[in-house]
Amino acid sequence: MLVDANHLKLTLNGRAILQDVSVHIERGEIYGLLGPNGAGKSTTIAVLLGLYAPDAGDLRLFDQARGHPVELRGRIGVMPERAGFYEWMSASDYLAWYAGFYGGLQQPAADLLRLVGLGDSGKRPVGQFSRGMQQRLALARALVDGPELLILDEPTNGLDPRGRREIHDLLLRLAGERNVGILLCTHLLDDVERLCSRIGIIDGGRTRLEASLQELASAHAAGRRFRLRLERPPADPSSLPSGLTLTSESQGWWQCLVAPDNTAPLPTLWEDLLVGHGWEIAEIHAEGGGLEALYLQLTASSKNEVKEETT
Amino acid sequence: MSATTQIARKERWALLQDQRGLGWLLAFSAVLSAFALLLISNQELSLLDNAQVVYMLAGTVTTAGAVIAVILGADAFAGERERGTLVPLLIAPIRTSELVNGKALGLVSAWGLMYLLSLPYLWAVGAGGQNLVQAILYLVLFGTPVVLGFGYLAMALSVRSGSVLTSLLTSLIVLLFTASPLLLGPGLRNSTIGRALDAVNPFSGALNTYDAVIIDSDPFLAQLPRLTLVLAWLAVTFLAARTTAHRPRFH
C-alpha cells in the first residue's frame, strides 16, 4: 500500500487541526480526498509529505515504516493548489532546474511538456502563461521524477472543459499504465466521480467516511430516484424486483424509486431487473442524491459551524 | 548538483534575469554614481584628501550593500511565500538547512556582484592616491561580514514573521540604529555610551577600520578586535537564520 495512514492527530499552535484522519491509497488507485475549506485536507497532505510529524496515529508510506521525510518526498510528486513559478524562467528551464532536486530530468523537458499539452511553449517565460497553462506546468513539475505517488490539489482549476478532459485522461493513464497512486483533492465532485475509485471525506479534522465509490453507490441507494432508458419497452412494466417502484414514464425514460428500506446492493437490483424481469437497460441516470448528497450530509457540521460564526 | 547549489543558482539567476534583481543592482550603481560624481564635482568635497574620499566611498558601498542585502534577505522566504513559490521548494526533497544555505549563498553572490560593481568607482575616485588597495581588501574583509550579517538578519526575520514588510522594516530599523553612532558628533562618540556602542556595533567596527586603515594607514593587527566583532556578527546572524528556519508553514 502506498499510503496507510490511520487515526492521525496533529495540533498546531494549540489548535487540533487533525483529530482522527485516515487515508489509504493503493498503487494504481485514484483516491479522492474531499472536505470543506479548513477541514484539514492541506494539513493531511503536509503530514504525508513529512512537513509535520503527527502527534498520534500510525503512518506508513510505500509499504514501509516512515523513513526520512526528504527521501520520501523524492518519491512523491505534488501539485499544490497555487502553482507558484518564477515568472522570468522559461517552462523548460524551470522544469530542468526543479528536476535538479530529484537528481535531474528523467526525460527531456520537451517530452514532459508535451505530455501535459504544453508541447510548443517550452521557451516562453512562465509569466506569459495563462492560469490553465500554469496548472498544466504544475502537473509537469509534479511528474519530473516519475513519482510513485501523486498528490494533486485542485488540478483542474482554471482549465477549460477540453483541458479538464485531457488532464483526466492523463491521470487515468498514469494510474492505469504506470501504476501511480494518486491522491486527488478537489471540490469538483464530477471529477471525483469520473476519476476516483475510492474517496475519503474529511470534516473538522476527522475522516467521516472512507469507501470505494462502488460501495457507496450500493450502500446509499435507498430512497434514490433513477431514470432508465431501455432498448425496448418492458413486456410487463409492473414486473419489478422488490425494493424498486416505477413512478413514471416519459419519452422513453422510465423513472423508478429505490425503496427507502432497500438493503440490496444497487448492482444486484439492476441485475435482477435485467435478468429476472427482462428490462433491457441501455442507460441509467441517478437523479439528485449520489456523492453530492452524501458529501453535504457528512459535512453538515461545517455548514452549521459557519452559520454559527456568522450569526 | 546539491539542493544548496541548486537554490543558490536560482538566486544568482534571479539577480541577473528577474527585473526585481536587476533593478536593485541598478539602484546600487546609481547610488555609487551619484556619490562618486558628488565627490569629484562638488567644490568642497573635491578638496578632500584622496584617502578621505576613498574612505567615504567604501562606507557608502558598505551601507548601500547592507540596505540591498536587507531587501533581498527580507524577500528570501516571506517574498517567496507571498508569491506562492515557497511551497514548491518545501514539497521537494530538500532539507531546511539546504534551503537556508542556498539562500545564504545567494546573498553572497549578490554582495559579490555589488562589490565588483563598486570597484570601478573606487578606482575612479582613488586611483591617484594612497591606500586604494587597502580599501579594496578591507571592503572584502570587513564589508562582507557586515553586509551579509544584515542580509541574514533580514532572512531570519523573514522566516519568523512570514511578511516582507515586517522583516524589511525591522531590519532597516536595526540598520539605522547601528548606523546612528556615526551620525553622532565626535564629542558624543567619545563619551562612554558612544564608545560602548562602537565596541559592540559591527557597522561602526567596519567604518572605524576603514578610517584607521585608509586614512591613518594603521596595521592589520590593530584591526583584529574589530575583525572579531564583525565575524561574530556574521556568525550570530547566520545562526539566527539557520535556527529560525524551522520548516516554514506549509499553508
- What DSSP assignment string belongs to A39-55? SSHHHHHHHHTTSS--S
Residue of higher predicted confidence among B185 and B32: B32
Domain around B25: 3-244
pTM over 0.90: no
- Please report how many Cα atoms fall inside a 13 Å half-sphere around the Cα of residue B185, on the Cβ side: 2
pLDDT of residue B146: 96
How would you label A202-234 residue by residue, b for 16+ Cβ within 10 Å and e otherwise? bbbbbbbbbbebeebbbebbbebebebebeeeb
User: Rounded distance, CA A263 to CA A70, Å?
Assistant: 48
Chain A: nearest CA to B248, how far in angstroms?
Answer: 9
Share of chain B above pLDDT 70, in %: 94
Number of H helices, E strands in chain B: 13, 0
Pairing of strands A3-12, A56-61: antiparallel
Asked whether the beta carbons of residue A80 and residue B247 sit closer than 8 angstroms, the reply is: no
User: What is the average per-residue pLDDT within B182-194?
Assistant: 70
Phi first, then psi, for residue A149 (nearest 5°) are -130, 130
pLDDT of residue A200: 93
Sequence-distant (≥ 6) Cβ neighbours of residue A235 within 8 angstroms: A278
pLDDT of residue A288: 63
Bridge partner list, A229: A253, A283
Phi first, then psi, for residue A225 (nearest 5°) are -100, 145
User: Rounded distance, CA A87 to CA A128, Å?
Assistant: 8
Interface A:B, Cβ pairs < 8 A:
65
pLDDT of residue A98: 95
User: Rounded distance, CA B161 to CA B157, Å?
Assistant: 6
Nearest residue on chain B to A102, judged by CA atoms? B93
Chain A: nearest CA to B17, how far in angstroms?
Answer: 7
Nearest residue on chain A to B86, judged by CA atoms? A84
| Residue pLDDT tens, chain A, 311 long | 899 999 999 998 889 999 999 999 999 999 999 988 888 998 999 999 988 899 999 999 998 876 788 889 999 999 998 888 999 999 999 999 999 999 888 888 999 999 998 888 889 999 999 888 899 999 999 999 889 999 999 888 878 888 888 889 889 989 998 899 999 998 888 888 889 999 999 999 999 889 888 777 666 677 778 888 888 888 888 888 888 888 888 888 888 888 877 777 777 888 888 888 888 888 888 776 667 777 777 777 655 444 444 33
Mutation target among B9, B91, B95, B98 for the A interface, most CBs of A within 10 A: B91
Q: Work out the angle at residue B146's Cα, subtended by the Cα atoms of residues B142 and B147, and round it to the nearest 5 degrees.
A: 115
User: Rounded distance, CA A240 to CA A249, Å?
Assistant: 14
Task: Name the residue among B86, B87, B94 with its Cβ closest to that of A101.
Answer: B94
Domain count, chain B: 1
Residues of chain A contacting B9 with CB distance shorter than 8 Å: 97
Task: Name the residue among B9, B10, B93 with its Cβ closest to that of A73.
Answer: B93
In a domain, B132, yes or no: yes
Q: Work out the angle at residue B183's Cα, subtended by the Cα atoms of residues B180 and B187, and round it to the nearest 5 degrees.
A: 110
Phi-psi region of A232 (alpha: psi -120 to 50; beta: other; left: phi over 0): beta
Domain definitions of chain A by residue range: 3-216, 225-287
Chain B: nearest CA to A75, how far in angstroms?
Answer: 9
Asked whether the beta carbons of residue B92 and residue A43 sit closer than 8 angstroms, the reply is: no
CATH node for A3-216? 3.40.50.300
The three-state secondary structure class of A179 is coil
Nearest residue on chain A to B11, judged by CA atoms? A86
Nearest residue on chain B to A145, judged by CA atoms? B92
In a domain, B250, yes or no: no
Chain A: nearest CA to B49, how far in angstroms?
Answer: 46
Q: What is the pLDDT of residues B212-236, one digit of tens each?
A: 998 888 888 989 999 999 999 999 9
pLDDT of residue B52: 86
C-beta separation of B179 from B65 below 8 A: no
